[in-house]
Structure 1
Amino acid sequence: MSQNELRFGIWALVHGNRAALHDPEEPYDASFARNRALVLEAERLGYATTLVAQHTANPLDRDLDQLEAWTTSAALAALTSRIEIIAAIKPYLYHPVVLAKMALQIEEISQGRFGLNLVNAWNRPELEKAGLPFAEHDARYAYGAEWLSVVSRLMSGEAVTHHGAHFHVDDYQLRPAGKFRRRPTIYVGGESGPARALVAAQGDVWFINGQPPDDVRGLIADLRARQRAGAPLRFGLSAFVIARPTQAEADGELARLAGLARLDAPLRDIQRSNTDPAVVMMQTIARTPSVGTNGGTAAGLVGDYDTVARRIAAFHGLGVDTFMLQFQPFEREMRRFAAEVIPRVRRLTGELPVAPRREA
């Protein structure tokens, strides 16, 4: 299995629409029923992975529905047979022993198709309103690094004794472990200095927010230059896709979604006020106007089918192997991408579709 194997994935709709909430073509729906149907269809269409973001409360509007990541991931693992299920996790919400056991249980349910995505919380009220600490940026990463070091060893089946700044664990071991591979895959997000150090030391895959190729090239070069033990780091990219038969049609759809997104401005203002200003993700997103979350269309995957395919192939050439994609309306455009763009990318890169990874 090649190191730079090309995979396409989708963001689960844990809090509904990714570009604009007031879209007459996609009414708001963050239900489990919709996400179950979405992920099952993505699997049938050949998508290799899905990311289930973690929010306990909706980050835009607390009156809107919000799917919970880990119970949802367990259910999706039982319903699917091929697609990888990645659940995001914010370390302050779960003790590492409890979370490692949950991860191993979903690994068992999925028969080796599970990954966890460590993200250090940016939404201050999500923790503070629950009476949980919201430390400063670098302190959160120090906490997350210690947390992940315990979780990773427990997921590998080790008997763990750990006495650190935040956690004390004595001769703790979890079973079953290692039935399908050494441990579930560890994805890490974040682009700050502490985030890069953490993923270089402990991650398997670095999730990069959507941004232009030159920026992605620099980020990958920085991580590849860092010392690490074990297998080389792999890279994923988040992107919002608008692919149409012609560039004019794609530009028209981008304009439509951008206009709708402006209706969400009051909610986005609330989100910004709740966000730690030290979070580099928000600084990155602010540099390039876009629609969609986590960089969205800033990656430039807007255009006719051939143009979008060429741009994906170019990112793949830089070292990106996993593309975690967003669409709107999601189901319709997910089908269009599978039918029109994926075959073009495969022809450009000379790769055939592949099964999900099972090694770690």
Structure 2
Amino acid sequence: MNRFDLYRGAGNPMFNDNKLKLGIFGPNVNNSCAMTLADTSFTPDFRTNVKIAKMMENAGYECIIPVARWRGFGGPSNFNGRCMETYTWAAAIAAVTEKIYLFCTSHVPTMHPIVASKMIATIDDISQGRIGLNIVNGWFPKELEMFGGKKMEHDKGYRYSTEWIEIVLKMWSEQYFDHKGEFFEIKDGWQEPKPVQNPRPVLINAGSSTAGMNFAARFADFHFSFLETYEQGREWTLHMKKLAWEEYHREINMFTTSFVVCRPTEKEAREFYDYYVREQGDWEVANIICDMFGIQSASNSQEFLTRARENFIAGWGGWALVGTPEQIAEEMVNLSKTGVSGTLVSFLDYVEEMPYFNETVLPLLEQAGIRNPVNQDLPVCQNT
């Protein structure tokens, strides 16, 4: 029996029968995924996050992934400057939820692997098998400088992450091991409790370079990436599945991310998009982030640059789901056809906008056969 079958047998929602799984990204940071100055009631505090998590459980969503941030990006909104730390966030949300799968996003240069492995195992006990780990190298130089270091050279960063996760995996499965590598030296590595999940907490990664995709193919259960077109999405999913199997004899699934503006009419949806993106968008922070990612005028047309910045402002570069419930459902069916296992959705205001999306779009996804009706009484994870 492979590890995916073990996860399914334990009732892990990340491996359920829904063809298109749903989660959200970034409810723990100010503005979540929208780089805007538009009015919103959303605040990244614990009470709001509990409301969101319970709405998601009632609607049958599979997961929540927080953003790990140590400082904002600047601009008028100081995008993501207010952030609840992800390990403590996950422990707190785990204690007040029952079904939804939670992830802890961890910048590996900021956390020793022994500490990380122990904290994840502790949250796994609190949640009874509902915590996973989002492994991030760390790419924002000003954050890493706060910890007394500099952003590592790219390939060195992935060597560091490889050694880091190898130690975590040993802490979860072995006792009294020694390790001496390029970055860490450990004598008699030991940990109790071990994670309750079988075979282990789910691992995700969003590496997009050659080294990043190889890292994901070797270690991750889910690879995350942005979709540019449906065809590119199909090529990406096929490439990653082939890479994981041929190089590491492993299975891997794919997830993407989307932003939602769902309204009764297309006109209303487009008008709201124009309001929060084009009129109230924080173009200064969008420029900062696009420059950081190398999306610059020297090699791209002005039309491409404007579109790229709009997409970042609207939802961190995710796939646009803007329109009526019927239009959005059709888009999500098409996303599923690319081979992705699911998408993280974001809203400008989760508490205000998610209920309408849940009431109108989710039934259409059930009718289309890519999601099953919600069984409110079914517990999700059964690892003990």
Equivalent of residue 64 in structure 2, options 50, 55, 74: 50
Of all paired residues, the percent bearing the same amino acid is: 25
Give 2:202's aligned residue. Answer: 185
Q: Distance in 1 between matches of 2:172 and 2:279?
A: 43
Q: 1:356 to 1:229 in 2, by over 3 A?
A: farther
Question: Could you tell me the TM-score, scaled by structure 2's length?
Answer: 0.82
Residue 73 of structure 1 aligns to a residue in which SS? helix
Equivalent of residue 326 in structure 2, options 283, 294, 306: 306
The 8 Å contact of residues 127 and 134 in structure 1, kept in 2 or not, is answered as: yes
The 8 Å contact of residues 51 and 351 in structure 2, kept in 1 or not, is answered as: no
Q: Distance in 2 between matches of 1:351 and 1:65?
A: 34
Give the Å deviation of 1:221.
1.7
Give 1:150's aligned residue. Answer: 167
Instruction: Please list every run of 5 or more consecutive structure 2 residues that lacks an aligned counterpart in the other structure.
Output: 1-7, 9-14
Q: Distance in 1 between matches of 2:218 and 2:326?
A: 38
Q: 1:327 to 1:87 in 2, by over 3 A?
A: same
The 8 Å contact of residues 54 and 88 in structure 1, kept in 2 or not, is answered as: yes
Give the Å deviation of 1:242.
1.6
What's the CA shift string for 1:91-147, capped at 9, x where partnerless? 000111111111111111100000111112121000113312311222212211221
Give the Å deviation of 1:29.
2.1
Give the Å deviation of 1:161.
2.8
Q: Distance in 2 between matches of 1:351 and 1:27?
A: 30
Q: Distance in 2 between matches of 1:326 and 1:121?
A: 22
Q: 1:158 to 1:356 in 2, by over 3 A?
A: farther
Instruction: Please list every run of 5 or more consecutive structure 1 residues that lacks an aligned counterpart in the other structure.
Output: none
Give the Å deviation of 1:178.
4.5
Give 2:217's aligned residue. Answer: 200
What's the CA shift string for 1:241-273, capped at 9, x where partnerless? 1222333322222212212443x1223344456
Equivalent of residue 342 in structure 2, options 300, 318, 322: 322
Give 2:96's aligned residue. Answer: 79
* 1:292 aligned onto 2:310: no
The 8 Å contact of residues 24 and 63 in structure 2, kept in 1 or not, is answered as: yes
Q: 1:21 to 1:330 in 2, by over 3 A?
A: same
Q: Distance in 2 between matches of 1:80 and 1:21?
A: 30
Q: 1:62 to 1:243 in 2, by over 3 A?
A: closer
Aligned residues: 349
* 1:108 aligned onto 2:125: yes
Q: 1:154 to 1:230 in 2, by over 3 A?
A: farther
Residue 214 of structure 1 aligns to a residue in which SS? helix
Give 1:30's aligned residue. Answer: 44
Give the Å deviation of 1:335.
1.2
Q: Distance in 2 between matches of 1:270 and 1:301?
A: 25
The 8 Å contact of residues 155 and 211 in structure 2, kept in 1 or not, is answered as: yes
Residue 169 of structure 1 aligns to a residue in which SS? strand
Question: Could you tell me the TM-score, scaled by structure 1's length?
Answer: 0.87
Give 1:268's aligned residue. Answer: 286
The one-letter code of the counterpart of 1:46 is: G
The 8 Å contact of residues 239 and 324 in structure 1, kept in 2 or not, is answered as: yes
Give 1:175's aligned residue. Answer: 192
Equivalent of residue 236 in structure 1, options 231, 250, 255: 255
Q: Distance in 2 between matches of 1:154 and 1:119?
A: 19
Residue 341 of structure 2 aligns to a residue in which SS? strand
Q: Distance in 1 between matches of 2:336 and 2:289?
A: 32
Q: 1:10 to 1:220 in 2, by over 3 A?
A: same
Give 1:122's aligned residue. Answer: 139
Give the Å deviation of 1:342.
1.4
Q: 1:260 to 1:83 in 2, by over 3 A?
A: farther
